Structure 1
Amino acid sequence: MSDLASDIRACRLCAERFAATHTEHEPRPVVWFRPSARMLIAGQAPGMRVHQSGKPFDDPSGDRLREWLGLSANEFYDTSRVAIVPMAFCFPGYDAKGSDLPPPRICGRTWHDRVMQELDKVELTVVVGGYAQKYHLGVKTGVTETVKAWRDHAPRLFALPHPSWRNTAWLKKNPWFEDEVLPELRAQVQKVIHD
C-alpha cells in the first residue's frame, strides 16, 4: 500500500458533510489501487453497500460491470493489475428522497490528480458514469453522447454508462452498446490484463 493510499484511507475531510446527510454516516474511504495497475476503472463514488463492505463494486452494479468487462471477480479485484478509483472515495450519502448525493468535489480536488500521477502504468481506462467522464475526458456532453463516441477514445479508453439496475431501460434503448462497444472493450481488457 502506498503512502498516498494510506493518506486517503485516513481522510476525514467530509465528516461534517456526511453527518449532515440523511444517512448521518462517518467517512469510510474505499481505496483500491496500486501503482503497478495496468487497467483503471474510474467511477463515481461508492454506494451504501460498498461503504459497508469496504470493497468497490461489491453490489449488483459490480456484477454487471464485471460481465461487461469479461473479468472474473478474482481478476477484477487484483489490485496489482486493476485500479478502481472513483471521483469520491467515500459514500456521499442519500438525500431525503433516498437518492445518491453527488460525489463531493473536495475529494477529487484533494486526491484525484495525485492518484492519477501514481498510476503511470495504466494502459486502459474504463470511465464509468458522467462525473468520471467529465473529469477524465473533459466532456460537457451527456453520458449517452459520450458513450456513443467511444471510437474517438478506444482502444486506450472506454466510456461506459453506470452499470446500475436503474440503467436497464437505457441498455434496452441503446442495443448498439452491447453489440458494438462491449466486444471491443472485452478484447482490450483481455489484452491488457493477460498480456
Structure 2
Amino acid sequence: MSQSLSDLSFDELVRQVRACRICEQALPHEPRPVVQLSESSRILVVGQAPGRRVHETGLPFNDPSGDRLRDWMGVTRDTFYDEQQMAILPMGFCYPGTGKSGDLPPRPECAPAWREALLARLEKIELTLVIGRYAHDWHLPGKGRPLTDNVRNWREFWPKLVPMPHPSPRNNLWLRKNPWFEQEVVPALRERVRALLAS
C-alpha cells in the first residue's frame, strides 16, 4: 500500500481491500475479505466480522443473524444484497476463527488499515446500522459505554445512526430481557429504511 489510499480510484481501493493479507499470519485459514459497497450506497450496515458460513460463501450476513437483521430492517434478500442501496462493512473483513465461546473478535489490524478510506468514499450514506460492541466503540462517541445503554439511547443518534445489538441467536437472552428494542427501535428502523429506499 505504497500509494496513498485517498489517491486510489474507488474501484482500485475496493480491489486492494479484497486482496488484503495484512493479518494472514494470525488467521486459521486463507484470508477472504467480505465487503459490499458502492459509491451510491444509501444505507451502511456495520457488523463485527464474518462468521464461518459467510467466509465459505463470500456473502455477508448469509446466516441466521442475517435473516434476523433483514427482518428487523424489513427488507428482502435481494434488496439487502443490492450494493447500490446497501453497503456492508464489518469491523473486520475476514473470518477470525472460533474461540471457546463462539467466533473470535474482529482482527485489530483491519479497521485502522482500511476503515477511514472506505467511509470517506461512501458520501451518500444516510443511515448507518451500528451492530455490536466493536462497531459501537468505533462509530459512536463514549467508547466503552455499555452496549445496552447505547441501544436504549438510540434517539441520541437518530436519524443518521442506529446502535443495535447483534442479531445473532446468541443474543436471544438479551432480546428477551430488553423487549423494548423490538417494540420501539425496530418499527422506527423499518420506517426509516422504507423511506430511504423509496426516495
8 Å Cα contact 1:88/1:108 also seen in 2: yes
* Counterparts of residues 123-134 of structure 1 (less than 5 Å): 123-134=126-137
3-state SS of the aligned residue for 2:124?
A: coil
Amino acid at match of 2:104: L
Rounded to whole Å, the distance in 2 between the matches of 1:171 and 1:92 is 25
Rounded to whole Å, the distance in 2 between the matches of 1:138 and 1:45 is 21
Count of paired positions: 189
For residues 10-68 of structure 1, give each alpha carbon's deviation from its aligned partner in whole angstroms, at most 9, with x where no partner exists: 001111101xxxxx211100121111101000111100100000000000000000000
| 4+ residue segments displaced more than 3 Å | none
8 Å Cα contact 1:8/1:111 also seen in 2: yes
1:102 and 2:105 equivalent? yes
Rounded to whole Å, the distance in 1 between the matches of 2:78 and 2:141 is 32
Q: Which residue of 2 aligns with 1:111?
A: 114
Structure 1: state its 5+ residue gaps: 19-23
Measured after TM superposition, the shift of residue 157 of structure 1 is 1.1
3-state SS of the aligned residue for 1:83?
A: strand
Rounded to whole Å, the distance in 1 between the matches of 2:22 and 2:104 is 16
Q: Which residue of 1 aligns with 2:81?
A: 77
8 Å Cα contact 1:38/1:124 also seen in 2: yes
Amino acid at match of 1:26: E
1:86 and 2:90 equivalent? yes
Identity %, equivalent residues: 49
RMSD: 1.0
Q: 1:43 aligns with which of 33, 36, 47?
A: 47
8 Å Cα contact 1:2/1:34 also seen in 2: no
3-state SS of the aligned residue for 2:102?
A: coil
* Counterparts of residues 1-195 of structure 1 (less than 5 Å): 2-18=11-27, 24-95=28-99, 97=100, 99-139=102-142, 140-195=144-199
Rounded to whole Å, the distance in 1 between the matches of 2:11 and 2:154 is 32
TM-score, structure 1 normalization: 0.94
Rounded to whole Å, the distance in 2 between the matches of 1:169 and 1:31 is 29
Measured after TM superposition, the shift of residue 98 of structure 1 is 5.5
TM-score, structure 2 normalization: 0.92
